[in-house]
Structure 1
Amino acid sequence: MSATLFDVGDYRLAAEITGDGPSTVVFSSGLGDAGEAWAATIAALSTRARVLTYARAGVSESDALPAPAPRSYGDAADELRRLLATVGLKEPVVLVGHSIGAIIALVFTATWPDTVAGLVLVDPSDVQLPLDLEPPKLVMHDGDREDRASFDMRRGAAEAVASRQHLGIPNVVITSRVGRWLEVATPEFWQPFSLEDLDERWQRHHRELATSLGGSRPASIQDRWCWGATDPG
């Protein structure tokens, strides 16, 4: 990404602001992703919204965290809050998150609901799954840099569960197609679960998440499904 470094306190984050329009859309990416995966979506929005993509601490051109200890999703959400205050984009924003980035977006919205006009969660992570593996994955690394940040999965799971509430804003959960997990090339990583177990669990997790956020209407989007609440309340 062609980015500018913004000071968010003790370190700087790489962020890119593009597009022009009355709305502000902020993208929160998956592990180790600086926002490249959103390129086609950003291009489609370029004439309708101001768009912010950014790299979390320790990802791409962003500085490392001052302290190396694993952090929570709430810490990462606060990092995004400080970035938005620094860049000064119009609020409330539409917040779009993928994978772990979707959980950060969810925690952000539950913590600062007045700053979010709408929430889109794209294949959000099942935060309990790493803790249910044998052995459990207690820490997840955010990218492959030597000075990368990492997430404390127990703290993060507790925050994510607490954030699963009716938000009072338009929201949607988009899940990948049925059978996606059956194509995973490393089934040994996911013991004691079979790939069939994981595929069913993934779809169930997203349905339950959408229901907890107030969504009730499923619709097909090509090879994905989405559940959402289009009306506030």
Structure 2
Amino acid sequence: MKKSLAELIGTFSLVLFGCGAAGISGISATGPAGIGLLGISFAFGLTVVVMAYAIGPISGCHINPAITISMLVAGKIKTGEAVQYIVAQFIGATLAAGVLYIIESGAPGFMMNEWALGANGWGPGYLAAYNTTSAFITETVLTFLFLLVIFKTTARWGNSTMAGLAIGLTLVLIHLVAIPITGTSVNPARSFGPAIFAGGLALQQLWLFIVAPVLGGILAALVWKGVFEDFVSA
């Protein structure tokens, strides 16, 4: 239960700070210029860094179902524990999206537009309007690379002291590329929470942000187990 609660809190924090930065501080219609793409990227990445050191010793700080499933495929977590992690992650993300909705609805003239609360998406009307193929490839490949970094930095011969920083900075780089394409998910829970409240196209497109990151995570686990794990452990 302590591990699941840690995952819930970690995922809650990721959505609250990351999606909050995108929805509240990313662009300001009436005040100073928002924090922009770079600021949003660092909001997500720095949250992972902070949570890695805060809850990493408790649960490993997955805070992402794609990571948990990848670790399951790689044999680093048991099925029962993985299910508990995933449930906790989705609950944490949904609670955070609810808190964001309450906060954002307090602004004058608030409206729940398509892809509100930092929801992920693609196609006409969403940021740079990339198509489904671009969105799917982006989410799959970037999740794949993200998991390879996680496997290596948390391996027996990795630098455990610096692992949280390396993983967080990798997420910053991922966001710098993917925000114009999909808003950047690489995390089904991060996409689920905002989509539940935003509804509409955000909810209709949610399937991609579950399937593509999980696929990328599974591929990374297979490559790690089949190619790199023995080499790193030698």
Normalising by structure 1, we get a TM-score of 0.30
Q: Which has the higher strand share?
A: 1
Q: Which has the higher helix share?
A: 2
